[in-house]
A and B are shown apart, each in its own frame.
Chain A
Amino acid sequence: MTGATVRRAGLPRDLHPGAWWLWALGLATAASRTTNPWLLLLILTVACHVVVVRRSDAPWAMAFRLYLYLGLAIVLLRVAFRVLLGGDTAGTVLVPLPTVPLPDWVAGIQLLGDVTAEAVLAGLYDGLRLATMVVCLGAANALANPKRLLASMPGALYEVGTAVVVALSVFPQLAESVQRVRRARRLRASGGGRVNAVRTIVVPVLEDAFDRSLQLAASMDSRGYGRAGAAPRRDRAVTGTLMVTGLLGVCVGVYATLDGTAPRVLAGPVLAVGLVVAAVGFVVAGRRVERTRYRPDRWRLPELLVVASGVGTAVVLFLTSSFDPQDVYPSLTPLTWPPVATLPLVGVLLGVLPSFVAPPPLRTPASGSRATEAVR
């Protein structure tokens, strides 16, 4: 780490996971507003660059490669769909192919047919858009520390959040448990088929895990976790009413959003009100949990700048797509070379800001002393 980097971005630390998620969602939203391949490739490059510069060496950060493969698969799948099931589209024929007739029960579907440049490009643009959005989410997964995200769970989900934390910390013990059972099995030299082998491993491991869960429950009880039924009856009635009303609103709103013939008042407004009421119920339910956070993640200047860069990218592309649709949705009929405009390019380049302003990630020293980092 050079002195200049430290001065510019501060000491190595984990950025607030929420900031990474908002930045990535901003990039993904920007990608959803365009089918211009140049812009999409630029967004991909920006996301990859920030990931490579700012990811830690934690296991979740290494999964980013899988998202790139997934993106590639999406693009190939979309183009293959267009070619295989293209039907007869008019346009520039690239490869003349016959149409394969299909039996009656798949009426309305044609196999093959002439491969046109329009069809292939349409598949490519659409696929690239979806792939870019997926890679943006992969970037968030690689950059944000999921354990810290879990620590900032809202109060109403406190109990279930505890269960997930238990799951994450029990997980490594399972491997150890499996090894122990297998060693015991080998010592006993028990025979039997493969099914029997699985059974003689799975059942003891589960028994072990359940016993451990009861011990854990006892120790949680003695430390005051998972207290039940502390809320007064009247509070419970209020939160229940809020939640039920909110969900009713969501039901009506979702249906009206989909059904264009329903009155518009029922769509947007009712959906929004339902969500707000449900959220209020959620917050009120969370107030009954009284607890403090150990070393909470704070929103400092780098966090705000990272969020601003993601949101800025999304806003610029939103504006361009409503003012100047040709720049972000290149035309397929007639077939043209996708244009490169300045404004959306600058907007996308805003997204690269985190690679300068975000603090450098904590890297594990070779000995791996941070491997036992506490969850909360």
Chain B
Amino acid sequence: MSAPVVPRPDAPAVRTGRRSALVLTLASVAGLMMFVWPLLLDPGADDGQRTDAPFLFVLILPVVIGVVVAELSEDGMDSKALAMLGVLSAVNAALRPLGAGTAGIETVFFLLVLGGRVFGAGFGFALGCTSLFASAILTAGVGPWLPFQMMCAAWIGMGAGLLPRRVRGRAEIAMLAGYGVVVAYLFGMLMNLAFWPLLAGVEVPGHDGSLAYVPGAPLLENLHTFGVYTLLTSTAGWDTGRALTNAAGIVLLGPALLATLRRASRKASYGVRGTFGDRDHGPDEGSGPVVR
């Protein structure tokens, strides 16, 4: 099994070189700032009219996501990865309406976690984007929330691909289930944070006592108000429902699905390029066989 012609069973479906990693990091930093903007906003002395920042971000975030996806696909997304991406997105888009709106059961994330785990971080990122995009197109749900949802889902898929790869068996399922729970709460919190000033209102100075956002207030104060807001509005209902769905999905279906996904990954043998014998294009497995 040590011959170079045998593809690694856990080779990432989408190669991410150093430059892709850099682009991913920069885009994640920019994206994170657009999520936590209410905490960063400091009106300063000149004007206090920048609470309409999210409208600007709704335009910037798609550009950022587009750049990352373009870089990922340029760095190495072959037709096998594309087809797998399409099929998994379709499954995710089909799973999503199953739980939509009923007590926070969100069925879209557990397959995202499993897919990112098996096919790697770059694929997980792309899968998060395409899943949410495809399901938005199928359900006519395109709107300003879409780029934010896509970014969050992309992070979830990417994070699952970055978890330690050595862990296998029961420990792996436990790790993924724990990750699913953490991610469910984080997703709810980040989405709430980005749209909190829009839904709970922006506070005029000198009047307090509600859950509204106060631009420029000390970080801890705003964080506290937001904590209460998110606890009251979503943690008990949606977020916990989402966390339970994730954990249940991963524990009950995880072992079978992981095996299925790994089998598919092995069959597709990512990381091996078909060659015609003139020169090798593959970066690590030099003389790979023509697959299938």
In the complex, B86 has a CB within 8 A of chain A:
yes
CA distance A279 to B64 in the complex (A): 9
By the criterion CB–CB under 8 Å, are B209 and A254 in contact? no
User: In the bound complex, how far is the Cα of B69 from the Cα of A141, in angstroms?
Assistant: 24
Give chain A interface residues in 205-234, CB to chain B under 8 Å: 206-207, 209-210, 212-214, 216-218, 220-221, 225-226, 228-229, 231
Q: B90 touching A167 by the CB < 8 A rule?
A: yes
Interface pair B209/A113, CB less than 8 Å apart: yes
* B220 CB to nearest chain A CB (Å): 12
Nearest A residue (CB) for B215: A260
A282 to B69, CA, bound (A): 10
Most chain A CB within 10 A, of B41, B42, B201, is at B201
User: Would A275 and B87 count as touching, CB distance under 8 A?
Assistant: no
- Report B218-254 CB contacts with A as 1/0, cut-off 8 Å: 0001001100100000000000000000000000110
**Assuming the A-B contacts A134-B143, A159-B77, A247-B30, are A258 and B90 also in contact, with contact meaning beta carbons closer than 8 angstroms in the complex?**
no
Partner of B33 from the list A60, A240, A251 (CB cut-off 8 Å) is A251
- Decide if B82 touches A126 in the complex (CB within 8 Å): no
Interface SS of chain B: helix
Q: Do residues A282 and B253 form an inter-chain contact, with CB atoms below 8 A? A: no
Contacting pair A243 B67 (CB below 8 A):
yes
Contact with B along A256-285 (1 / 0, CB 8 A): 011111001000000100010011011001
**Given that A164-B134, A244-B26, A251-B26 are contacting pairs, would A217 and B43 also be in contact in the complex, using a CB cutoff of 8 Å?**
no
Are A214 and B138 touching (Cβ within 8 A)? Answer: no
B5 at the interface (CB under 8 A from A): no
Q: Which of A151-179 contact B (CB under 8 A)?
A: 154, 156-160, 162-168, 170-171, 174-175
Whether a CB of chain B sits under 8 angstroms from the CB of A88 is yes
- A366 lies within 8 A of chain B by Cβ: no
Report A-chain residues with C-beta under 8 Å of the C-beta of B200.
81
B84: shortest Cβ distance to chain A, in Å?
5
**Nearest residue in A to B142 (C-beta to C-beta)?**
A141
Does A164 contact B86, Cβ atoms closer than 8 Å? yes
Closest B residue to A222 by CB, please name it: B79
The distance from the CB of A38 to the nearest CB of chain B, in whole angstroms, is 22
Contact between B252 and A198 (Cβ–Cβ < 8 Å)?
yes
**B91–chain A nearest beta-carbon distance, Å:** 6
A220 & B82 in contact (Cβ 8 Å cutoff): yes
On whether the beta carbons of B67 and A282 are closer than 8 Å, the reply is: yes
Contact for B260 among A81, A85, A210, CB less than 8 A: A210
B278 / chain A contacts, CB cutoff of 8 Å: none
**Complex contacts, A122 vs chain B, CB 8 Å:** 201
Q: How far is the CB of A13 from chain B (nearest CB, A)?
A: 20
State the CA gap A202–B264 with chains docked (Å).
15
Contact assessment for B292 and A218 in the assembled complex, using a CB-CB cutoff below 8 Å: yes
Q: How far is the CA of A240 from the CA of B75 in the complex (A)?
A: 10
Cα A167 to Cα B78 with chains together (Å): 16
Give residues of chain B (159-216) contacting chain A, Cβ–Cβ below 8 Å: 198-201, 207-211, 216
User: 1/0 per position for B64-83, CB-CB distance to A under 8 A?
Assistant: 10110111011011111111
Residues of B within 8 A of A202 (CB): 253, 256-257
**Which of B47, B76, B137 is close to A228, meaning CB atoms less than 8 Å apart?**
B76
CA distance A162 to B138 in the complex (A): 16
A174 and B260 within 8 A (CB): no
Interface locus among A104-112, A182-190, A338-346, A347-355:
A104-112
B193 to chain A, nearest CB (A): 13
Verify B143–A163 contact, CB threshold 8 A: no
For the complex formed, measure the closest distance between the CB of B1 and the CB atoms of chain A, giving whole angstroms: 23
* Chain A binding surface SS class: helix
Q: Which of A121-171 contact B (CB under 8 A)?
A: 122-123, 126, 130, 134, 137-138, 140-142, 146-147, 150, 154, 156-160, 162-168, 170-171
The reply on B93 being an interface residue by CB < 8 A is: yes
B276 within 8 A of A: no
Q: How far is the CA of A322 from the CA of B87 in the complex (A)?
A: 50
| B87 and A213 within 8 A (CB) | yes
Task: Contacts A171-B138, A254-B60 given; indicate if A213 touches B74 (C-beta within 8 A).
Answer: no
B277 within 8 A of A: no
Whether A260 contacts B64 in the complex (CB less than 8 A), given A81-B200, A157-B69, comes out as no
Given contacts A206-B91, A281-B67, contact A199 B209 (CB under 8 A): no
Interface residues of B in 88-121 (CB under 8 A from A): 89-91, 93-94
What residue in chain B is nearest A110 (Cβ atoms)?
Answer: B209
A32 CA / B143 CA spacing, docked (Å): 15
Bound together, the chains give a CA A113 to CA B137 distance in angstroms of: 44
- Chain A residues contacting B11 (CB-CB under 8 Å) are none
Tell me, yes or no, whether B156 is within 8 Å of chain A by CB: no
0/1 interface trace, chain B 31-71, chain A, CB 8 Å (1 if under): 00110010011111111001011011100100110110111
CB pair A221–B79 under 8 Å, yes or no, is: yes
Distance A264 CA – B50 CA, assembled complex (angstroms): 13
15 additional contacts (CB under 8 A) given A87-B207, A210-B87: A59-B140, A86-B210, A109-B209, A109-B225, A110-B209, A159-B73, A159-B82, A160-B73, A167-B85, A170-B87, A203-B260, A206-B261, A225-B82, A247-B67, A258-B33
- 21 residue pairs of the A-B complex, CB under 8 angstroms, read A63-B140, A85-B209, A109-B210, A141-B140, A142-B140, A159-B73, A159-B82, A160-B126, A163-B89, A164-B86, A167-B87, A174-B94, A203-B256, A206-B261, A207-B260, A210-B267, A243-B70, A251-B29, A254-B30, A260-B216, A288-B74
